[in-house]
Amino acid sequence: MQSDTGGKYNKDGESRGEPSPARRLVCLRSGDYLGVEGRPVEVQVDLCQRGDGSFNIVGLPGKSTRESRDRIRAAIRNSGFRFPTLKILVNLAPAARQKEGAGFDLAIALGILVASGSVRGAGLGERLGRMGFQGELGLSGEVRPVRGALLVADCLARQGAGELVVAADNAREAGLAGRLDVYGVEHLRQAVEVLRGQRAPDVSDESEVKEEAVADYRDVAGQEATKRAFLVAAAGRHNILLSGPPGIGKTMLARRLGGILPRLSRREAIEVVRIRSAVEGERGCEFSWIPPFRSPHHTVSHCGMVGGGTRPAPGEVSRAHRGVLFLDELPEFSRRTLEALREPIEEGQITIGRASGSITFPSDFLLVAAMNPCPCGYLGHPRRACTCSHRQAEGYSRKISGPLADRLDLHCRVAALEPGSWIDAGSHPPGLDSATLRQQVAGARALQAARWGKGVVNSEISPALLLEDGSFSRPGLEVLRRVSSRLALSGRGFVRALRVARTVADLAGLQETGETEILEALSYRALPGGSLES
């Protein structure tokens, strides 16, 4: 690594250019992130013996970065090292870019110790040249985890770093970047041991990752027709809307969807961890093969749903990337928040625009929404009377705009069960279980991969390609034309019905999509009480 004097480090970690004998300059690698992308930052530490003992950080540091001066001073002293009384100047390069976060603490502290001569050793300069550092320091010298460890590790690896020193709680996360030897440290003294070559890197093994338990569909009594709808949704990644009275299992059904979805590939799992790292990395992000499941409350803000803020961060639509976004009590969400879902549903990503530029977050999710049929929830209930007026019930359903409803492929009415109907069957009544449904989903996904390409599902296929290679029978298309006209389907609704029909055929292992599959697909878009018969 080059210093700003044009020279390299000598064996004591000093810049080997032509500085004044009373001045030492040390440069270390670190980084921050913006959105879900890491950005390399060079931490330049300069000590001058003719200084006044001041300690300044330049290079557009944010508030939390500026405050690191007091943390670093206390951490060095409480770790048993002498804090220099020289003038200290720290530059975070490139200086024209705003820096945020406490992740530079560790690099700055180590730079001060090396520049002041408190840390010496053979080959120190060479090790500094290939190492990166990220971590927050506590006042006693402990190294705390920070957000963005994986993002910084990945960008430093691309910049040529071979080793990375991070907080112990960030070590497994940073190790997912690959191409780096990662050292997890709990204290500043341990980081110094790494610099001296006295510690070995951590070893992580993804095969040791335990698969989390996911609730099983066999625990849901009855609702076999709704389970069938979830099977279709999982097989083709189709969005689904559940409508029915309260207390009949809509949330139970939605929370079990992850148990029948295919496990993530390594690339997809890394994408999920990158997003989590930018939002909750200070707790350490664990690798998982299970698709994420996000269920924001209906009071979530527009920014909380789609992302944003002064320093744009991923929202719920991005945190559900490669998984499920469940919106319970759909009409209770604000209209602005719901309408913002259109772009991520169609594009699989969301772009946040600011005066300083725009940031694009991935947001490819399966949307599951649930709602009551009216404000009181009992419209059409076989045993309880609805207390809402016709106007109230109609206004409640109108909170869901036509364009958004059109993007929900499956509209499923969940029936009310007879109270206690499952007691005689025991605590686990017979019915479709997650293992059986997962096997059917895997079989349908395999057929789609063979037809469209690896990882491509029916919900992503263009209308032209779908009609060309979807093997729709002529009688089936005639039924679709006739019934879709009666249902007043839009062009988008027509295409989505085609995609669902192809998924139904794949679940049955059929090459041709016929009338039966078309009618089942259209039944998921029919109005309550409506008929599909001619």
Res 232 pLDDT > 70: yes
Q: pLDDT class for 311, splitting at 50, 70, 90? A: confident
**What would the mean pLDDT of 69-77 be, rounded to a whole number?**
96
**What would the mean pLDDT of 442-446 be, rounded to a whole number?**
97
Helices 105-115 and 68-78: crossing angle in degrees, nearest 10, is 60
What's the chain's average pLDDT? 88
* Residue in the structure block whose two tokens are 């090459």: 511
CA 59 to each of CA 41, 66, 100, 114, 369: distance values in angstroms, whole numbers, following the listed order: 10, 10, 11, 21, 46
**What would the mean pLDDT of 508-521 be, rounded to a whole number?**
94
> Domain spanning 217-442 has what CATH number?
3.40.50.300
Q: What is the pLDDT of residues 144-177, one digit of tens each?
A: 999 999 999 999 999 999 999 999 999 999 999 9
Fold agreement between 217-442 and 461-534: no
Res 359 pLDDT > 80: yes
Is the domain spanning 461-534 CATH 1.10.8.60? The answer is yes
**What would the mean pLDDT of 13-38 be, rounded to a whole number?**
71
- If you average pLDDT over each of 52-56, 194-198, 280-284, 352-356, which comes out highest? 194-198
Alpha-carbon gap, residue 166 to 144, rounded angstroms: 9
- 116 compared with 380, residue with greater pLDDT: 116
% pLDDT > 90, the chain: 69
Q: Which of 169, 175, 164, 172 is nearest to 187 (CA)?
A: 169
The domain locations on the chain are 23-204, 217-442, 461-534
When mean pLDDT is compared across 8-12, 34-38, 183-187, the lowest value belongs to: 8-12
- 456 compared with 49, residue with greater pLDDT: 456
Q: What is the pLDDT of residues 375-407, one digit of tens each?
A: 998 888 888 889 999 899 888 888 898 899 999
Res 428 pLDDT > 70: no
Per-residue pLDDT, 16 = 42
Q: pLDDT class for 18, splitting at 50, 70, 90? A: very low
The set of long-range contacts for 50-57, using a CB threshold of 8 Å and a minimum separation of 24, is 50/22, 50/87, 51/86, 51/87, 51/88, 52/87, 53/85, 53/86, 53/87, 54/87, 54/88, 55/88, 55/90, 56/88, 56/89, 56/90, 57/90, 57/91, 57/92, 57/108
Q: Is the dihedral of CA 484, 487, 493, 496 positive or negative?
A: negative
* Strand residues in 129-195 grouped as ranges (E): 131-133, 136-137, 143-144, 163-167, 181-185
Res 330 pLDDT > 80: yes
Per-residue pLDDT, 425 = 53
Res 445 pLDDT > 50: yes
Q: pLDDT class for 506, splitting at 50, 70, 90? A: very high
Res 17 pLDDT > 50: no
- 16 compared with 514, residue with greater pLDDT: 514
Q: What is the pLDDT of residues 261-278, one digit of tens each?
A: 999 999 999 999 999 999
Q: Is the dihedral of CA 111, 113, 118, 121 positive or negative?
A: negative
| Cβ neighbours of 477 (radius 10 Å) | 17
Q: pLDDT class for 69, splitting at 50, 70, 90? A: very high
Per-residue pLDDT, 13 = 41
Res 527 pLDDT > 70: no
Per-residue pLDDT, 210 = 62
Q: What is the DSSP letter of 265?
A: P
> Domain spanning 23-204 has what CATH number?
3.30.230.10
Straight-line distance from the first to the last Cα atom of the chain, in angstroms, rounded to the nearest whole number: 76
Alpha-carbon gap, residue 531 to 237, rounded angstroms: 26
